[in-house]
Amino acid sequence: MDYVNGPGRNHLFVPGPVNIPDQVIRAMSRNNEDYRSPAIPALTKTLLEDVKKIFKTTSGTPFLIPTTGTGAWESALTNTLSPGDRIVSFLIGQFSLLWIDQQQRLNFNVDVVESEWGQGANLEALASKLAEDKAHTIKAICIVHNETATGVTNNLVTVRKILDQYSHPALLLVDGVSSICAIDFRMDEWGVDVALTGSQKALSLPTGIGIVCASPKAIEASKSAKSVRVFFDWKDYLKFYNLGTYWPYTPSIQLLYGLRAALDLLFEEGLDNVITRHNRLATATRMAVEAWGLKNCTQKEEWHSDTVTAVVVPGYIDSSEIVRRAWKRYNLCLGLGLNKVAGKVFRIGHLGNLNELQLLGCLGGVEMVLKDVGYPVKLGSGIAAAAAYLQNTTPLIPSRI
C-alpha cells in the first residue's frame, strides 16, 4: 500500500489475510536470535502447549511449520497416507477443489463427492460410501470445514457420527484454515485425526506458519505411511521435540513472538467469546445483505459461515467491478468471486482482529460501491439493520468491565 497510498486506513475485509493487532506487530518488531539458544526452545514449548487449546485437544501433537495452508495440507496428507490410498474428498468450492488437486497430484486415489457451489458437503453420499466399504478400502475422509470461496461451513459433528455409525477406521483430515479460532472446533470431541490452520486467518498474524495438529491415531499412521516427504516430515519434528530443541530447521523468530502475542490476546478475550464475536459480526453482515435485497451464496442457513459472507449480485453487474471500485475509490478491500462464481459474487471477510464499528464502516463502503455500479440500494439500509442488531447484542469489552 506504500506505493498506492490513500488517506486514512486501508479497510481490509477479505477472508484472509486479515488485520494484525498492534500488540502482535510490536511483538514481531525485533532482531533475529539464535534459535539454538535456551530462549527459543523455552518459547516454543509454551507455544506448542497453548496451540493445542485452539484445536481443543489434550491428546493431539501440534507442528508449527514455516509454510502456508497449502503446505499444511501436504503435511497432513503425506504423513498419514501412502500413494494409491483411497480418499473420499468433498468438492464444494475453490479451496476444496485445490486440496483435491493436490491429493490427486500426490498420487492418491481420490473419490470426489461434488456439490453445487453454495451447498455443503453431501454427507448422505459419505454414508453410502462407508456402508458399501466393508473391506475398509477408504483410508481417509478429507473435508474443508469452512469453504472460503462460497461462505459454507460443513457440519463435522455429523461427519464423525457417520464414521462411528459404520465403525469405519478411516482417518478424518480437516482443513480448518478459515475456521479455527473463529468457528467452534473440537478436535478431540469430534474425533478429528489431523486438523490444520494458517497464521494469516483468525489468528491474525502474517502468512508464514502452517499449524498442523495430529491425533495419536494419525501419529501412529505416520509410522507406516509411504508417501515421500522431507520438509514436512513429522518424524523430524518429533525427533527434535524429544531432544528438547524443537526445530529441525530454522524457524521465523519474529513469527514465533507474534504467535505468542496472538495467542495471549485470544486467551485474554476468551476463545469462546472470540467465537461468539465472530458469530455476531457474521449475523450482522447477513442482515445487511438481506436489507440490500441481495442473496447469500450459501443456500441454507445451516451452512452459513461466521468468517466470510459471499454475496450474489444481479446478472447485470460484474462483481469484480465492485471489488475494483471499492479499492480504487474507498480504500476498501473485498474478496473476489473465484472460479465458478467469478463475476457473480463478492466476499466480505469478517474474521480475526475485528470489531463492530470496523464492520459497520465496511458495510457503509459496500453500500456506496453498490450505488456506484448501478444497484438500487437504499443508502443506510444495511448499516441500519446491522447496527440495530449489534447495538442489542454487543457485550461490554471484558477487560473494561
Q: Output the known binding site.
A: 347
Q: Which residues pair with 117 in a beta bridge?
A: 119
Region at 167 (left for phi over 0; alpha for psi -120 to 50; beta for the rest): left
In this structure, are strands 11-13 and 332-334 parallel, antiparallel, or unpaired? parallel
Q: How many CB atoms lie within 10 A of CB 376?
A: 9
DSSP state for residue 187 in the 8-state scheme: T
Instruction: Tell me 303's DSSP state.
Output: G
Task: Tell how far CA 230 is from the center of its chain.
Answer: 25
Cell of 241: 521435540
Cβ-proximal residues to 244 (8 Å cutoff; 6+ apart), any chain: 41
| Cα Rg of the chain, angstroms | 21
Q: Tell me the CA end-to-end span of the chain in Å, nearest whole number.
A: 37
Q: Are 163 and 193 in contact (CB under 8 A)?
A: no
Give the annotated binding-site residues for substrate: 347
